[in-house]
Structure 1
Amino acid sequence: MGEGERSGVLIGRTAELATLTAALDRAAAGSAGVVLVSGDAGAGKSHLVATLARAARERGCAVLVGQCAELGESMPYLPLADALWTGSRDPELHAALEARPVLRRLLPDGQEPGAPAGGGASELGRQQVYGAVLGLLGELGRRSPVVLVLEDLHWADRSTRHLLTFLSRVLQHERVCLIGTYRSDDLHRRHPLRPVVAELLRLPNVTAAEVGPFGPDETGEYLAALAGDGVPPTAEEIARVHLRSEGNPFYAAELYTAARDGEEMPALLADLLLARVERLSENAARVVRAASVAGRRVDDELVRRVSALDEATVGEALREIVHHQLLVPDGAEGYTFRHALLREAVYADLLPGERTRLHAAFAALLADGPAAGHARAAAELAHHSLAAHDLPAAFTASLRAGREADRMGAPDEAHEHYDRALSLWDAVPDPEQAAGAGRVRVELDAARASGRAGDTRRAVSRLRRLLESAPRDDVRLGVLLREKLAHHLVDLDPEEATAVAREAVGMLPAEPPTPERAAALATYARNLLIREEDPRIPAIAEEAIAAARATGTAHAEASALVTLGFHRESRDPAPEVQALFARARDLAIEDGNHQVALRAAFHHARAMFDRGDLDGAARAADEAMRFVRANGLGWSSYGTTLRCLEFLIRYTTGDWEAAGRLAGGFQVRVVRPVEAQVSAYALFVEVARGEDITERMRWLERVWPQDPFIAYVARGLAAEDALWRGDTDAALEHTTALLASMAPRDVAAIRIIGTALWAQADRAVRARASGDAETAEAAAKAADDLLERARTAASTTPDGRPRTWLGLEGHAWLARAEAERARAHGDDDPGLWRAAVAAFSYGFTYEVARSRRRLAEALAVRGAREEAAAEWGAALRDAEALGAAPLVRALRDLGTRARLGASRPAPSPAAGLTAREREVLALVAAGRNNKEIAAALFISPKTASVHVSNILAKLGVTSRTQAAAKARDEDLLGDRPRR
C-alpha cells in the first residue's frame, strides 16, 4: 500500500510534481516529453504520478495507466496491454483500438478465433507494435493531450523496455507525456533496466524525477493526515517514526499504525524486507545476519571475523549483498544497511542463541582487538556485552561510555549510558570498585547530564528519588543534593526552589566554610532573584563568594558573581556590572562548569542588549553560542535562552535574513517546553513578515498551559498577527488572557499592554468613524486602565518599591502605550508618537518604522503634509527593506488615503531589492518553486521562502505570479533587449 492510498493527500513533493506538470504542459503545447520517476519502494512514486494523472484528467487529457508485474519475461508488453485494457472503456480509445488489430490482440480478450495457442504478443512483429502504438498516441493526442504511465519498470519485460526506448526516441511533436516509474533500490549493477535508464537520460526530451525521503516536517504532516480526525501524533511519535523509517512514507505508515497497536515491527513490513534477504546464498545470508548484530554501520574486518569465514568467502558474499543493494559501501572499510529497518528485520529474525553468540563475539573483539581504541568502542562494547548477558562488562563499559559522552558534549547519550549502568548496579559484584565512585556520584552525573540536555524534569525526578534514599546522617550529602535540586527546580517551581535552597543553607554552620554550603548559598541567592528586589540578595551573594574563595569552589563563586551583578544592574545600570559577568564566565569556564558559564555569558550579552549596545550584544551572543555548540549544550536551559537571544538581537537590529537563517532551525512540531520556547521566538519575524503561523501556533497551544513564558511570547505575537488582519476581538482575547495571568506590577506586561492598547485604539477609531459612541467610549476607558497598569509596572517593583531600572526597550514600549492611549481617545498626538520613535531609535528598526507609520498618520490629520510625507517615506523604506509585508501594506494604504506618495519621487520597484533577492526573483519569474530555488542557489527552502516574502513586500504584490509579471513588465531584472 503506497503513500497515497494511506493518506489521500500529496505531502511535499512540490519539485517532483512541478517536473511532471512542466512535462505535461510541454506536451499540451505540442512538444512530447518523457519523465522517469525513481525512488525506493514505498517512497510515494505511485501517489505522485496519480496526483499528476488526476490533474491531467481535470484538464481534459486522456490518461492511460499500465503496471508491470513481477513475472519476468513471460508477459511481453504487459504494462502497455494493461493501460490499453483499462482505458478501452473510453469510446474513442476503443474505436482507435478496433482500427489497430495488432494492438487489439494484446488485450486479454483479443485472441483471434482459430489462432494457435501461444500466438500472443510475443509473436507479433515488433515494428508492427511500435508503429501501432505511435499511431494510436498520435491520434489520441490530436483530440486532447495524452498521459501514458508505465508503472514499476524495474519488473518490465524486454519488449516493454525496447518499446520505452523507441517511444522516447521518436515522440517529438505529438501531444504525449510518457511517464515511467521504477524502484531505484532494485536497480543493482546488472539489472537490465539500468543501461536503458542511462541511455534515455541522455535524450533531450527525457527528464528525471527522483522521489526522495520525507523530511521530519513532511513525516509529521503525513502521520497527521493518517490520523485524520483521530488523536494526532505527538512530536515524540513523529520523531521516533521518522528516525526509524528514514522518511520512507510506506515504512512510516506501517510503523505508526503498528506502534499505536503496541507492535514494534509490523509483520507485513518485516516479511517485505526479509524477502530480499531470502534471495541470497547461504554465505551471504550469514554475513548479513552478522552485520545486523554489528549495527547500522558495518566494519568489514569485524564482520569477517565474527562470521568465521575466510577473507575470500566474505569478499564474495559482500559483493553479492551489495549487488542486491542490501548493504552499500560506506568509506574505505565499511558498509551500511541501505535502510535501518532492513537491519531491524534481519536482527529480529535471528534465533535467540544465535543472537547472543554473535553479540558475545563482537564484544570480545571490541574489548581486546584493534577496534578497542575506536571513539565509539565503549558504547558499542556496552551494547554488545548487555545483549550477550555479560553484565559486569556492560556495567563498566556503560560508565566509560557515559564519561566519554560527557567529554564529547553529548549529554543525552551520557544520561542514557549512566542510566544503564545504574540499572545494573545491584546485578554486578563490587560496583563501587568497578565504577571508581559511589552510586550517589553516578546518580548525580546522570542528573547533571539530564539538565545539560535540557530535560530539567528528569533531573529533578532523579534528585528527588536520590534524596529520599540518601542516609539521613550524612549532612553534607544532604546539602549537596538539596542544592542540586534547588538549582534545577528554579525553572519549574521557583518558590519551592527557594525553599529547598534555604533549607540546604541552614543545614551547615557558617564556620568552618564548606564547598557544599558555598554552593547552597550561591543557589539560594540566585533563586531569590525571582523576587527582583529582595534585600537579602547582596549579603547572601557576598557570603557565598567569600565561602567559595575560602574553599576553592569556583563554580559557586561564579554563580554568586552573576547574581550580584544582576542585582546591582537593577539599581545602577552602569557598564561596570559587565566586568562581574565576564569574570564569572571566565571563572566557570576554567572550572569546567558549563551551566554557570552559560548563565554568565547570557547576562553578559543580555545586559548590553538592554542598554542598547546591540553590536556588543551580537558579538557576545555569537561568542556564547559558539561555546554552546562546541560543548553540545544547545538544549540546556541557558543554551536555549542564548539561542533565543541571538535570534532576538538580529530581529531587533533589522538583520532579518540572519534571523530567518537562525529560525530555520526552530522546529514547528514541538512537545517539550524547551523546544517550544525556541519555536515561539520564530513568530517575531513570521508575524512581522505576514507569514502563515497557523501550524506553529497549533503546536505551541499544546505547550503554553505548562509554561507561562511560552504563552507570553506566542500569544503576544498571535495578538499582533490578529491586529494586522484587522481582528481586534482575537487580539484582545490573547492579551486579556495573558494580563490576567501576570502579576499587576510585572514589567514584562508592558509590551502586552502596548499590543492591547493598539487593539483598543483601533476599536475606538472604527467606532467613532461609524458613529458608535458607546463602543468608542468603552474602548477609551479600557485604554485608560491599561495605561495605568503599564505606568505602575514601569515605576514600581512587585514588592511595592520604586523601580530604578527599566531598560531601553521597556521605556520604548511605555512610550508606545502612551501614544496608543491618546489615539484611543481620538487625540492622535504627534508629540507622543515622536517620543515613541525616539525611544525605539536605539536600534530597533522595525518598531521605529511602526511608530513612524502612526506619526505620519497623526501629522497628516493635522495638515502637516510635508513632515508626514517624510516620516511616511522613511517608514516605508525600512519596512520594504525588512520585508515587513503587513506594515508595507498599511503604509501604502495610508499613502493612498493621505496622498503622501506624491510628496517624494516614486522609487523603482526594484530599488530595494538586494543582489540575492534579484537572483531569487529571476528564478520566481522562471516558474521555480522554493525547493527548486533553494537547490539552484545552495540555500535552504526556508531561506528561499523568506526571500520570496521580502520580494513580494518590496514589489507590493501578493503572489508569485504577480511578482513574475511585474519583473517582466517593468524589466526589473534588466534582461530586456535594448533598442
Structure 2
Amino acid sequence: MLIGRAEELAALSGALDRAAAGSAGVVLVSGDAGVGKTHLVSALTRAARDRGCAVLVGQCAELGESMPYLPLTDALWAAAGAPEGDDVRAALGARPVLRGLLPDGEGGPGAGSELGQQQLFGAVLGLLGELGDERPVLLVLEDLHWADRSTRHLLTFLSRVLQRERVCLVGTYRSDDLHRRHPLRPVVAELLRLPNVTGVEVRPFRPIETAEYLAELSRGSAPVTAEAVDRVHRRSEGNPFYAAELYSTGLDGGTAELPSGLADLLLSRVERLSDDGQRVVRVAAVAGRRVDDELVRRVSGLDEAAVGEALREVVSHQLLVPSGTGYMFRHALLREAVYADLLPGERTRLHADFARLLDGARESAAELAHHSLAAHDLPAAFAASVRAGGDAIRLGAPAEAFEHYERALELWEAVPDPEAAAGTDRVRLSLTAARASARAGEIRRAAHRLRRLLDVADPADVPLGSVIREHLATHMLDLDELEEARVMAREAVTMLPADPPTADLAWALATYARTLLYLDPDGEMPALAEKAAESARAAGTPGAEAALLVTLGMYRESREADSGVAELFARARDLADAAGDSPQAALRARFQYARTKFDRGDLVGAAAAADEGVRFGLDNGVEWSMYGIAIRTLRYLVHYTAGNWAEAGRIADGFPLQVVRPHEAQISSYALFVEVAQGRPVVDERLRWIAPLWREDLLANYIARGLAAEHALWRDEPRTALEHVADIADSVYGEGASFIRIAATGLSAHAELAAWARIAGDDEAVRQSAEAADDLMRHVRRSVEFTFDQPRTWLGLEGLAWVARAEAERRRVDGVHDVDLWRKTADLFTYGDPDGGFVYEVARSRWRLAEALAENGDREAAAAEWRKAVETAERLDAKPLLSVLRDLGTRARLDTGRAASARSGPFAALTAREREVLKLVAEGRNNRDIAAALFISPKTASVHVSNILAKLNVTSRTQAAAYAHRQGL
C-alpha cells in the first residue's frame, strides 16, 4: 500500500505515459535516506509491468568508483534473466559491448579502444530505442549518490539524447548525502535545467500519514494507539523507515530509551539475532551492497547446516532479502550501521577473507582491489588495481581505469618489486594512465601527466620518449595549441631512426602530418605524408597508413584540380577496415569520402556513402563519437540538399533540442536548415537553447547564426539578419569559403534595406547599404582567393553557386534584378542536373529569376520559372518561400491555374515512412533488409508492410510492388 505519495506517483506515472506516447523523459527522485524512494519507485515498476512495459532496474553500491556501470550491469543482468526478457536477451545478443558488462560476458570487439565508452553509450541508447520500438521502457537507476563516474556520465548522456524514444528513465538519490563537494551534486543541478528532466522530492510523512503507515504495519495485531503514533512521528520526524524501525523494535513506548543515533536503532534489530545470524550479517556488510550465497557461506566460517539456518533466520527478520544467487540488505542504512559497528581488526580480517576468495576470479579485480586495500594487503591491492584498470578499459570505462591506475601508482613505492607485479615499469604505467585519462575526455589532465613524464622518462629509452611526445602532440591539437603540437610531433619523429620502419615511427609521422595541415612553415607537405605512408606500409601499420592517407587527401584537395581524393579516402577506409582495431580512423575516412562526393555534387554517391558510414557507426557502437556525429550530420545535409526532407527530418529527430554543452549546440544547429526553410515554430525554441552557447563553439555559431539570419529575413527583419552576419564575420568563419553563404545572406538583407530606403527617398541609407554590400563582396572575393589555385575543387559546386548568388544579390542592392546573374545562380545550384542538385536553393533562385524576368517584361518565361519554384516549395512544405512566391504571383499576375500535383487515391493514405517501405518492397527487399536500410527493427518493418497492404487493399507483397511501380516508385 502506498501512503502519502499520490502526488509523487502521479508525476512518475505521467512521465511514463509521455514516454509511451513517444516523448522520452527523465525523473530524478530525491529524498532523505529511508524516506521511501524505493517504495515509491517499486509502485511505479509494478504498474509498468502490469501495462506490459519493459522494466529494467539497477542499483548502485557504496564501492566508490571501483565498479563502473554497476547499476546498468545490474539492470541488464536481471532483465535478461527474467522469464519475460526475450526482447532484452535478443537486444543484448546484438551488442557485444553490452554483453561484456555481464558476469559471464567476454567484452565486445574493440571495447578497449579509445572509443570504448562512446561505443557503450551508443549501444545502451540503441538497446533502449530498440526495446522502445516494441513496448515502452522504464529504466530505474537507484541510489545514484553512490554512482561511479561512468554511470554519472551515462546518466548525463541519456538525459540529453533521449528525445522521442519511448523510454522513461527514473533515478533515485539521497538528498541528505549530497554535500557541497559530492560528485553527483553538479550533475543533478545541470540535468534539472533540461525541460525533459523533472525532479520529484519525496518528503517526510505528515502526522496523519505516519498514523496510516503504522496502522498498516500493525494490521493483524493490536491497533496502534494515538500516543504511539505521536511518539513515533516525533522521534522519526516523519521518516517512514525510521518510523517502521521504531515501531517494529518496540521503541515506540515510553519505557524504552531511544538510542543516541540511527545506527543504534538499526543495530537493535541485529542484536535480536542469534550469534550465527549476527555473524552472517557482519559478513554481508563487509561484502558490500550484495553478497553471493557461496561467498557468505565460506567467509562466515560456519558449517553448512549452521550457515543455512543463520541465513534463514536473517531473511525471516527481513534484514537481508534474496536477490539472484545471493542476498542484499533490505535497506542500505542497515548495512552501513553494521559495517561501522565492526571492530577494526574484525573488519580487516573479513576483508582479507573476501580478498583471498576473490583472488584469481576474472570478473572481480575491482572488488579484489577494494577488499585487499581495506585488509591492508598492499601488494595484492596494487596488482588487483592494475588488473582492474585493464578490465575497466575493456568495458569502455576509461575514467574508472584511470582511478585504478592512479591507485596503483600511489602504491608503487609501498610494494616490493612493483614492476614484476604490474608487468611494466612506472613510466609506462603512467603513460597507460594518461591514455585512460584522455579516453575519458580529460585531455588537459592527460597532457599534464605526459609533460611530467617527459621529465622522468629515461632519455635512453628513445621509443618511449617518442610515444610520449606523439601522444602529447595529439592532445595539443585537440586543445588548439597548434605550434606546440607541431614542435612536439616533430621531436617524436626525429627521435626515431628512419630505418627500419616501425609502428612508433608510423604513428609519429601520422601525427606530425596532421599538424602540418594547420602549420607548415617549411612546406614539408605533401612529400612527408607520402613518405610516411610508405613507412607505415613497410611497418605493417595499416591504421597509421589510413590516417596518413586521409591527411594527404585533405591536403591535396585544397590545391589540385583533379586530386583523386575520393579514391584516396576509399583506400584509407579499406586499410582501416583491414586493421580492424581503429574504428575512429575507419569512420574518419568514410566521412571524408562521403564529404568529397557531396562537395562535387554527386548527391547519389554521397547519400550512399553517408548511409554506409552511419551504418558502420551503428554496427560498431560509435555513432556518438566525433566522426559518428559528423557523418550523421553530413547524411542530413545530403538529404536536405537533394530535397528529401522527410528523410532529413527523420535524421534530425536524433538531434537534441535542449542543449547545455557546446558540442550539443553544434549538432542541434543542423536541424535548423529544414526548420527555417519550412518556417516551423520550433526554430525560435531551438535558437533560444543554442544562443547561450554559440560563443563557446565556433561551428555552432556559424551554422546557427547563419540560419538565424535567414530566419530573420523571412520575417522581414533585415537588420536582425545583419547583426548575425556581422558576428560571424568577426569569427574565424569570416574568411574562407564557408563565409560566402553568409555573405550572400547579408547582401540579401542589404538589398531589402536599400529597397525600403528608395521607397522612402532616403538616398543616404541607399548609399550606406551599397558601401556595406561592397565590403561583403570584398569578403567573398578574398574567400575565393583563399581557395588557392583551384576554386572549383576547393569551393565545390555549392560554393561556386553561392558566389553567383552573392553577385546577383549585390546587383539587387543597386535596384537591378539581373536576369543573367539569377539564371546563372539557378543553373549552378542544379549541379548539372536540371531536375536535381540543391533543390531548395534552385527554387529560391528561380523565385528571384521569375521576379527579374517579370520586371524585364518576359512574363511567359517568368511564369515558367515561377511554376517550377512553386511546385518545389509545395513539395518541400517550404512555407516562407511559398508565401513570397504567391505574393509574386499576385503582383506579377503569373499563371496560377496549374493542375494539382498531389497524389490521390490509396497512395495518398500512406505516410512518408510507409512510402519509403513500399519503395523497398518494390525492390524485392525482405523485412530484415528493410529494417537494415531504414535503421528500424524487423518487427517494425513487418508492421509497416501490413499497414501498406491494408491501405492499398492488396493481399501480397507482389501486388504492392506492382502498385508501387505504377505510381513511379
Relative to the length of structure 1, the TM-score reads: 0.61
For residues 519 and 457 of structure 1, what CA distance do their matches in structure 2 show?
Answer: 21
- Going from structure 1 to structure 2, the CA distance change for 1:802 and 1:603 (only over 3 Å counts) comes to closer
Equivalent of residue 761 in structure 1, options 730, 746, 751: 751
- Going from structure 1 to structure 2, the CA distance change for 1:613 and 1:797 (only over 3 Å counts) comes to closer
* CA shift for structure 1 position 433: 1.9
For residues 289 and 830 of structure 1, what CA distance do their matches in structure 2 show?
Answer: 89
Residue 801 of structure 2 contacts residue 829 of structure 2 at CA under 8 Å; is this kept in 1?
A: yes
- Map 1:654-803 to 2 at 5 A: 654-668=643-657, 670=659, 672-689=661-678, 690-693=680-683, 696-698=686-688, 700-742=690-732, 745-797=735-787
Q: Is 1:216 paired with 2:204? A: no
Residue 40 of structure 1 contacts residue 185 of structure 1 at CA under 8 Å; is this kept in 2?
A: no
Equivalent of residue 429 in structure 2, options 442, 450, 455: 442
> In the TM superposition, what whole-angstrom CA distance separates every residue of 1:564-596 from its partner, at most 9, and x where no partner exists?
222223334547333322222333344423443
Task: Provide the secondary structure at the position in 2 that maps to 1:498.
Answer: helix
Bigger relative CO (Cα 8 Å, ≥ 6 apart): 2
Equivalent of residue 470 in structure 2, options 475, 483, 492: 483
- Going from structure 1 to structure 2, the CA distance change for 1:247 and 1:787 (only over 3 Å counts) comes to closer
Give the residue type in structure 2 aligned to 1:519. Answer: W
- Map 1:42-121 to 2 at 5 A: none
Task: State the match for 1:618 in structure 2.
Answer: 607
* CA shift for structure 1 position 11: 12
* CA shift for structure 1 position 607: 1.7
Residue 192 of structure 2 contacts residue 199 of structure 2 at CA under 8 Å; is this kept in 1?
A: no
Task: Provide the secondary structure at the position in 2 that maps to 1:250.
Answer: strand
For residues 464 and 813 of structure 1, what CA distance do their matches in structure 2 show?
Answer: 46
* CA shift for structure 1 position 297: 7.9
For residues 625 and 27 of structure 2, what CA distance do their matches in structure 1 show?
Answer: 38
Task: State the match for 1:850 in structure 2.
Answer: 844
For residues 296 and 880 of structure 1, what CA distance do their matches in structure 2 show?
Answer: 61
Q: Is 1:237 paired with 2:186? A: yes
Give the residue type in structure 1 aligned to 2:820. Answer: G
- Map 1:392-471 to 2 at 5 A: 392-452=379-439, 455-471=442-458
> In the TM superposition, what whole-angstrom CA distance separates every residue of 1:766-822 from its partner, at most 9, and x where no partner exists?
333333332233222222221232123123347x99886321221122222222222
* CA shift for structure 1 position 538: 1.4
Task: Provide the secondary structure at the position in 2 that maps to 1:249.
Answer: strand
Task: State the match for 1:523 in structure 2.
Answer: 511
Task: State the match for 1:178 in structure 2.
Answer: none
For residues 901 and 450 of structure 1, what CA distance do their matches in structure 2 show?
Answer: 66
For residues 348 and 502 of structure 1, what CA distance do their matches in structure 2 show?
Answer: 59
For residues 753 and 710 of structure 1, what CA distance do their matches in structure 2 show?
Answer: 17
Task: State the match for 2:853 in structure 1.
Answer: 859
For residues 334 and 657 of structure 2, what CA distance do their matches in structure 1 show?
Answer: 32
Give the residue type in structure 1 aligned to 2:910. Answer: A
For residues 700 and 235 of structure 1, what CA distance do their matches in structure 2 show?
Answer: 25
- Going from structure 1 to structure 2, the CA distance change for 1:804 and 1:914 (only over 3 Å counts) comes to same
* CA shift for structure 1 position 541: 1.0
For residues 192 and 322 of structure 2, what CA distance do their matches in structure 1 show?
Answer: 19
For residues 824 and 279 of structure 2, what CA distance do their matches in structure 1 show?
Answer: 79
- Going from structure 1 to structure 2, the CA distance change for 1:276 and 1:481 (only over 3 Å counts) comes to farther
For residues 865 and 285 of structure 1, what CA distance do their matches in structure 2 show?
Answer: 97
For residues 846 and 581 of structure 1, what CA distance do their matches in structure 2 show?
Answer: 29
Task: State the match for 1:250 in structure 2.
Answer: 200
* CA shift for structure 1 position 727: 2.6
* CA shift for structure 1 position 635: 5.2
For residues 499 and 727 of structure 1, what CA distance do their matches in structure 2 show?
Answer: 49
Give the residue type in structure 2 aligned to 1:846. Answer: Y
C-alpha RMSD of matched pairs (Å)? 5.5
- Going from structure 1 to structure 2, the CA distance change for 1:465 and 1:314 (only over 3 Å counts) comes to same
Task: State the match for 1:570 in structure 2.
Answer: 558
Gaps of 5+ in 1: 20-38, 45-69, 71-151, 155-181, 195-208, 255-266, 921-937, 941-979
Task: State the match for 1:538 in structure 2.
Answer: 526
- Map 1:319-398 to 2 at 5 A: 333=325, 343=332, 347=336, 350-351=339-340, 353=342, 363-367=355-359, 372-374=361-363, 377-383=364-370, 385-386=372-373, 390-398=377-385
For residues 268 and 618 of structure 1, what CA distance do their matches in structure 2 show?
Answer: 65
Task: Provide the secondary structure at the position in 2 that maps to 1:835.
Answer: helix
For residues 776 and 268 of structure 1, what CA distance do their matches in structure 2 show?
Answer: 78
For residues 843 and 203 of structure 2, what CA distance do their matches in structure 1 show?
Answer: 48
- Going from structure 1 to structure 2, the CA distance change for 1:212 and 1:483 (only over 3 Å counts) comes to closer
Task: State the match for 2:896 in structure 1.
Answer: 902
* CA shift for structure 1 position 5: 12
- Going from structure 1 to structure 2, the CA distance change for 1:349 and 1:504 (only over 3 Å counts) comes to same
Give the residue type in structure 2 aligned to 1:916. Answer: T
Task: State the match for 2:808 in structure 1.
Answer: 819
Task: State the match for 1:600 in structure 2.
Answer: 589
- Map 1:154-193 to 2 at 5 A: 185=42
- Going from structure 1 to structure 2, the CA distance change for 1:561 and 1:247 (only over 3 Å counts) comes to closer
Q: Is 1:651 paired with 2:601? A: no
For residues 640 and 824 of structure 1, what CA distance do their matches in structure 2 show?
Answer: 39
- Going from structure 1 to structure 2, the CA distance change for 1:738 and 1:188 (only over 3 Å counts) comes to closer
- Map 1:19-58 to 2 at 5 A: none
For residues 858 and 879 of structure 1, what CA distance do their matches in structure 2 show?
Answer: 19
Residue 378 of structure 2 contacts residue 415 of structure 2 at CA under 8 Å; is this kept in 1?
A: yes
Task: State the match for 2:110 in structure 1.
Answer: none
For residues 42 and 554 of structure 2, what CA distance do their matches in structure 1 show?
Answer: 60
Task: State the match for 2:251 in structure 1.
Answer: none
Query: After the TM superposition, which of the residue ranges 522-531 and 543-552 deviates more from structure 2?
Result: 543-552
Task: State the match for 2:488 in structure 1.
Answer: 500
- Map 1:309-328 to 2 at 5 A: 310=307, 314=311
* CA shift for structure 1 position 436: 1.6
Task: Provide the secondary structure at the position in 2 that maps to 1:464.
Answer: helix
Query: After the TM superposition, which of the residue ranges 859-868 and 607-616 deviates more from structure 2?
Result: 859-868
Residue 728 of structure 1 contacts residue 763 of structure 1 at CA under 8 Å; is this kept in 2?
A: yes
Task: Provide the secondary structure at the position in 2 that maps to 1:530.
Answer: coil
* CA shift for structure 1 position 285: 11
Query: After the TM superposition, which of the residue ranges 503-512 and 233-242 deviates more from structure 2?
Result: 233-242
Residue 27 of structure 2 contacts residue 197 of structure 2 at CA under 8 Å; is this kept in 1?
A: no
Residue 709 of structure 2 contacts residue 724 of structure 2 at CA under 8 Å; is this kept in 1?
A: yes
| Number of equivalent positions | 719
Q: Is 1:915 paired with 2:910? A: yes
For residues 646 and 328 of structure 2, what CA distance do their matches in structure 1 show?
Answer: 38
> In the TM superposition, what whole-angstrom CA distance separates every residue of 1:415-468 from its partner, at most 9, and x where no partner exists?
454445444444444332222223333333344445445554444333333334
Residue 866 of structure 1 contacts residue 903 of structure 1 at CA under 8 Å; is this kept in 2?
A: no
Residue 706 of structure 2 contacts residue 724 of structure 2 at CA under 8 Å; is this kept in 1?
A: yes
* CA shift for structure 1 position 490: 1.9
- Going from structure 1 to structure 2, the CA distance change for 1:362 and 1:597 (only over 3 Å counts) comes to farther
Give the residue type in structure 1 aligned to 2:818. Answer: D
* CA shift for structure 1 position 537: 0.7
Relative to the length of structure 2, the TM-score reads: 0.61
Residue 815 of structure 1 contacts residue 832 of structure 1 at CA under 8 Å; is this kept in 2?
A: yes
Q: Specify the structure having the higher radius of gyration (Cα).
A: 1
For residues 841 and 710 of structure 1, what CA distance do their matches in structure 2 show?
Answer: 27
For residues 683 and 299 of structure 1, what CA distance do their matches in structure 2 show?
Answer: 53
Give the residue type in structure 1 aligned to 2:186. Answer: E
Give the residue type in structure 2 aligned to 1:782. Answer: A
* CA shift for structure 1 position 299: 6.0
Residue 784 of structure 2 contacts residue 791 of structure 2 at CA under 8 Å; is this kept in 1?
A: no
Residue 385 of structure 1 contacts residue 394 of structure 1 at CA under 8 Å; is this kept in 2?
A: yes
Residue 287 of structure 1 contacts residue 314 of structure 1 at CA under 8 Å; is this kept in 2?
A: yes
